[in-house]
């Protein structure tokens, strides 16, 4: 494997010869005729708008200031319809394979028998839920909502960085970003044919409806949140209201004879589909963590009995950890008999002696991640770390090599972004949201995250990253 040290990044707007890419042509012309200071003013307006709408994340504390805004960037990221269609096909293929994999490992485990994936990797994984063995889920779908993180390194070169199959978040920002852009720049939307994303909640509702237990014709659907102190609470409330369903907490529900009910003003009402934004461990104190008060006692038994659908299913984490990630291209071949349309990032497994040796020798060039980490925490970005940081991280690796994987430092594409000094290139990634019910659906686009610090490759909102509107232009 070779590593990329030369800092030549693919620019979403301009190619190597500083020529504006076709799809950005209109936007570029519009940008050039803007009077000075317009973008700054619109940026300030956008921030006010977000503050007023309360589109916030992070922990809710005493002071009003402790609800943070995710910085919103007003320069859109633009895809052409054709390049989007290719991504879309690849995403559907990947999610289809991941769901087939989950069904398989919780049933016959053919993929282990065939020797494609090691038994230890699956059955020894802490995210594997043996309680799920043999349970049949509607449509055989485990991850009804998947967030697939993509990065681009060249015009036609995309990599999947991560599959998020547990409770992926961010879709509310995708929708609010569009909403905000349309308010701020109506003239831009008049001169571009941007494919709409606003129907995502309807698509989600359709997906959840299709996922109801068999023989339920008019299912009662709810969104389950850990509560208003959760960092993604805004999103939970947003999605419930957009779908017109109840936003419930564990305390609002109870189980009777393996059926789930919620307390309503008219008495108990049965619930059939729960879009839950609560992690497996906290769903049911009788089945999982007994010290948790967030869940509903008996919920898992009701789920096992097929009386309620949880979206996503229990035990999906085993398919999205960073070690299982390595096998996804194999899964696609194994289950679908197709060649993968999206590539994985080349990855070293530090549980393997050869890989470990190589990685330890090349730490300053690599990105090292915890197998079960998320949110950009606990990773080492070699090229931007000090010698001391690298040395300290090395000790952590040596203590438990199997908990880490390493990847080359990818030359993530950049997109023009409003920063203090004006419009400048910043690194971006993309999280499209893929919905699986009876069929697989996604809206054109996704959430583009942008690293606001110059040179930074970390786009996570918990690490100070921002977001942008993502356009797919009709052709």
User: Which residue ranges make up the site for another protein (CB under 8 A)?
Assistant: 51-54, 64, 223, 228, 233-234, 237-238, 240-241, 245-249, 251-252, 254-256, 261-268, 285-286, 290, 297-298
Closer CB to another protein, 227 or 375, in the complex: 227
Taking the least distance from each CB to another protein, the nearer of 227 and 422 is 227
Which of 439, 147, 138 lies closest to 310 in space, CA to CA?
Answer: 138
d(CA 83, CA 40): 31
Give the nearest distance from C-beta 116 to another protein in angstroms: 41
For the CB of residue 470, give the shortest distance to another protein in the complex, in Å. Answer: 23
Do 74 and 184 form a contact (C-beta atoms < 8 A)?
yes
The H or E element that residue 259 is part of is: strand 259-264
What sign for the dihedral angle of Cα 450, 455, 461, 466? negative
* Euclidean distance between CA atoms 458 and 380, whole angstroms: 11
3-state secondary structure of 102: helix
CB of 60 to another protein, least distance (A): 8
Cα–Cα distance, 287 to 298 (Å, whole number): 8
11 or 301: CB nearest another protein:
301
Query: Smaller CB distance to another protein: residue 285 or 382?
Result: 285
Residue number with CB closer to another protein (247 or 430): 247
CB of 456 to another protein, least distance (A): 30
Quick one: 123 or 293, whose CB is closer to another protein?
A: 293
Judged by beta carbon, residue 110 or residue 252, the one nearer another protein is: 252
| Min CB(45)–another protein separation in Å | 15
Shortest Å distance, C-beta 437 to another protein? 22
- In whole angstroms, the minimum distance from the beta carbon of 287 to another protein comes to 11
Nearest distance, CB of residue 292 and another protein, angstroms: 12
Specify whether the CB–CB gap between 294 and 227 falls below 8 A: yes
Between 41 and 51, CB nearer to another protein: 51
Specify the length of the chain in residues.
Answer: 475
Q: Which of 201, 232, 182, 230 lies closest to 49 in space, CA to CA? A: 182
CB 340 within 8 A of CB 331: no
Nearer to another protein, 234 or 325 (CB): 234
State the Cα angle at 113 between 107 and 114, rounded to 5°. Answer: 120
- Name the minimum Å distance from CB 425 to another protein: 34
Give bridge partners of residue 145 from the DSSP assignment.
435
Three-state DSSP at 79 gives strand
Least Cβ distance, residue 173 to another protein (angstroms): 16
Strands (E) across 32-172 are located at 56-57, 68-69, 72-80, 145-154, 157-164
With CA atoms as reference, report the closest residue to 158 among 97, 88, 96, 77: 88
The string of DSSP codes covering 404-460 is: EEEEE-----EEEEEETTEEEEEEEEEE-EEEESSSEE--S--EEEE--STT-----
When the beta carbons of 9 and 254 are compared against another protein, the nearer one is 254
Q: Which is nearer to another protein, 210 or 284 (CB)?
A: 284
Residue 101: CB minimum distance to another protein, A? 33
Rounded-to-integer distance, Cα 182 and Cα 288, Å: 45
Contacts of 21 (CB under 8 A, 6+ apart): 12, 13, 14, 15
């Amino acid at each position: 494997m070779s590593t990329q040290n030369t800092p030549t990044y693919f620019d979403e707007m301009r190619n190597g010869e500083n020529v504006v890419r076709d799809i950005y042509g209109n936007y570029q012309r519009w940008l050039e005729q803007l009077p000075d200071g317009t973008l700054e003013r619109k940026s300030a307006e956008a921030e006010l708008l977000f503050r007023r709408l309360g589109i916030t994340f992070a922990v809710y504390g005493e002071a009003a200031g402790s609800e943070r805004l995710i910085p919103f960037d007003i320069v859109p990221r633009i895809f052409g319809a054709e390049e989007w269609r290719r991504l879309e096909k690849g995403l559907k293929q990947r999610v289809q394979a991941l769901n087939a994999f989950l069904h398989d490992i919780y049933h016959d485990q053919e993929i282990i028998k065939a020797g494609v994936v090691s038994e230890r990797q699956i059955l020894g994984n802490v995210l594997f839920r043996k309680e799920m063995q043999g349970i049949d889920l509607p449509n055989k779908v485990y991850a009804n909502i998947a967030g697939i993180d993509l990065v681009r390194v060249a015009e036609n070169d995309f990599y999947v960085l991560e599959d998020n199959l547990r409770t992926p978040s961010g879709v509310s920002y995708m929708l609010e970003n569009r909403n905000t852009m349309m308010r701020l720049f109506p003239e831009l939307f008049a001169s571009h044919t941007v494919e709409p994303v606003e129907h995502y909640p309807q698509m989600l509702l359709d997906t959840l409806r299709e996922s109801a237990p068999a023989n339920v014709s008019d299912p009662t659907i709810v969104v389950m949140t850990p509560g208003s102190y959760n960092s993604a609470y805004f999103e939970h409330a947003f999605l419930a209201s957009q779908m017109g369903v109840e936003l419930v907490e564990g305390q609002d529900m109870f189980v009777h004879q393996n059926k789930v009910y919620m307390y309503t003003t008219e008495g108990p009402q049965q619930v059939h589909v729960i879009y839950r934004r609560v992690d497996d461990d906290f769903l049911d104190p009788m089945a999982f963590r007994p010290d948790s008060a967030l869940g509903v006692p008996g919920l898992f038994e009701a789920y096992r009995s097929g009386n309620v659908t949880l979206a996503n299913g229990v035990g999906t984490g085993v398919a999205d950890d960073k070690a299982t990630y390595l096998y996804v291209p194999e899964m696609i071949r194994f289950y679908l008999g197709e060649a993968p349309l999206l590539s994985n990032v080349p990855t070293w497994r530090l549980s393997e002696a050869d890989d470990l040796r190589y990685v330890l020798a090349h730490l300053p060039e690599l990105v090292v991640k915890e197998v079960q980490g998320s949110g950009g925490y606990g990773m080492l970005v070699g090229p931007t770390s000090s010698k001391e940081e690298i040395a300290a991280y090395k000790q952590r690796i040596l203590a438990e090599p199997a908990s880490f994987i390493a990847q080359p430092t990818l030359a993530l594409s950049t997109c023009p972004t409003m920063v203090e000094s004006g419009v400048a290139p910043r690194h971006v990634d993309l999280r499209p949201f893929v919905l699986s019910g009876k069929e697989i659906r996604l809206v054109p686009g996704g959430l583009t995250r942008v690293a606001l610090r110059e040179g930074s490759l970390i786009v996570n909102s918990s690490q100070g990253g921002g977001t942008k509107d993502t356009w797919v232009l009709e052709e």
